[in-house]
A and B are shown apart, each in its own frame.
Chain A
Amino acid sequence: MAGVREQDQYMPIANVIRIMRRILPAHAKISDDAKETIQECVSEYISFITAEANERCQREQRKTVTAEDVLWAMEKLGFDNYAHPLSLYLHRYRESEGEPASVRRASSAMGINNNMVHPPYINSHGFGMFDFDPSSQGFYRDDHNAASGSGGFVAPFDPYANIKRDAL
């Protein structure tokens, strides 16, 4: 193929193929041109939805594109079948950052005997619900840092397993 495709403009092909394989029967094959095309389609999908979400942001004179803006744009652009499971996903993601995650973290820590994990028995964040402020962004970063420790992987993993089951 002429010209080098900028890989950072597309989702990694291995991840995309893994998701495709969930849908396809075992004997199905995927040609190289189909792999490239679906990578391009995914990036186009993200750009398409983001542009609509950002337009609403600007109309309302806000500077930060939020998860709610993304969900709104999906409904407006015909992906309302996605909006409901994604709202549930977002809700549970936010819950997982609150008290229940601490309990899971405590259980995981005891199971692993990892001294690096210090489960807080009193959660100063309340129920972990965040509004549209930058703290949600900062909080996400904290979670990302926590994931680098061995104990951190376990706590956020469980709720996603549940959500994935719901999505199917």
Chain B
Amino acid sequence: MRQAGAYSGLLCGGVSGRTGPHSLPLARIKKIMKNSGEDVKMISGEAPIIFSKACELFIEELTRRSWIMAIQGKRRTLHKEDLASAVIATDIFDFLITLVSSSESHAVGGATNVMEVETIDCS
């Protein structure tokens, strides 16, 4: 007789066949690692596995902080501006400031960020 765990495992494997037990595709992670610099030579098989989990933690943290920004704005929809505000407010996300800022060249967007930062400072 089949065990429930075994069956669930099969389904899970089947549904995300390309990623196996990991929630993010390892081949894609490896490709991005390779493109991080021309001097990246060889990547051990375990490094993308670590990243698949690290990226989950990163996405969860960024989402959590962005959602706080959205609810402070009395909204139920997460917007790009919320991500930008979360990045600006969090030290370890400094490396993303250029990325989120460049997609917000609009002056109004910039003003909004400044206002939200001020709000954070007041609280």
A and B from one complex: yes
Please give, as numbers and ranges, the residues of chain B lying within 8 Å of A48 by CB-CB distance.
36, 95
Interface check B114, CB cutoff 8 A: no
Is there an interface contact between B37 and A54, defined as CB atoms closer than 8 Å?
yes
Interface check B40, CB cutoff 8 A: yes
Task: Please report the number of residue pairs spanning A and B whose Cβ atoms sit closer than 8 angstroms.
Answer: 228
Is there an interface contact between B59 and A38, defined as CB atoms closer than 8 Å?
yes
Interface check B113, CB cutoff 8 A: no
Is there an interface contact between A65 and B43, defined as CB atoms closer than 8 Å?
yes
Is there an interface contact between B58 and A42, defined as CB atoms closer than 8 Å?
yes
Considering the chains assembled together, what is the distance between the CA atoms of A9 and B33 in angstroms? 10
Is there an interface contact between A86 and B2, defined as CB atoms closer than 8 Å?
no
B29-75 interface with A by 8 A CB criterion: 29, 31-33, 35-37, 39-47, 49-51, 53-60, 62-64, 66-67, 70
Interface check A165, CB cutoff 8 A: no
Least Cβ–Cβ distance between A28 and chain B, in angstroms: 6
Is there an interface contact between B46 and A90, defined as CB atoms closer than 8 Å?
yes
Question: Provided the pairs A54-B37, A112-B2 are in contact, do residues A33 and B80 lie with their beta carbons within 8 angstroms?
Answer: yes
Considering the chains assembled together, what is the distance between the CA atoms of A38 and B82 in angstroms? 11
Which among A18, A33, A38, A160 is the interface contact of B21 at CB below 8 angstroms? A160
Interface check A78, CB cutoff 8 A: yes
Which among A28, A36, A70, A154 is the interface contact of B67 at CB below 8 angstroms? A28
**B interface residues, Cβ below 8 angstroms from A:** 1-3, 5-6, 9-10, 12-14, 19-25, 28-29, 31-33, 35-37, 39-47, 49-51, 53-60, 62-64, 66-67, 70, 76-80, 82-84, 87, 91-92, 95-96, 99-100, 103
